[in-house]
Amino acid sequence: MGLVWAAVPMPRMKMPEISFPLFAAWANASFLAAAGLINWFDGEKIRALYNEWQIPARSYRTVGLLEISAAMFLAVPHLRAWGIVLGAVLLFGSTVLLLSHGRYGYAMAVIFMLAILGAAIFAIPTYQTPLYANL
C-alpha cells in the first residue's frame, strides 16, 4: 500500500498590521541606510562621481554618515521627528543636485521618497504625560 497524503489544514496566521505612516518611516529608513552605506563604503566610484560634479573631496563620507543617522532616527519612535527633518533635508538636497545635473530619472525616485516621508509625520508617537498636557 502506498502512502496517502491527507490535506492537513494549516492554522491561520494573521499578518501583523502596520499602518501606512509607520511603513513610510521604515521604508525611508531602509532607503537612507542603504544610501548611507553606499556613500560610506563605495569609495572610488562615489569619489569619481563627486569629482565630476565638483563636490568637495571626502564629503561623501559626511553625507553617508548623515544618511545613516537619519535612518537610525527614523527607526526609533521617539527620535522619528528628527529623522524626518534630517531625511527631508538630505532628500531635498539630493533632488536639487540630481536635477541640476540632468539625472531626471533618479531625481523622480528621490522625489517619491520625499513624498512618502511626508506620511511618516503621522507615525510620530504622541505623548500623554502631564508634562506635555500643560504645554
pLDDT tens digit sequence for 48-103 = 888 888 888 778 889 999 999 999 999 998 899 999 999 999 999 999 999 999 99
What lies within 8 Å, CB to CB, of 32 at 6+ separation is 67, 68, 70, 71, 74, 87, 90
Question: Domain map of the chain by residue range?
Answer: 20-122
Query: How many CB atoms are located within 10 Å of the residue 126 CB?
Result: 5
| Whole-structure pTM value | 0.78
pLDDT at 129 > cutoff 70: no
Vertex 124, ends 123 and 126: CA angle to 5°? Answer: 120
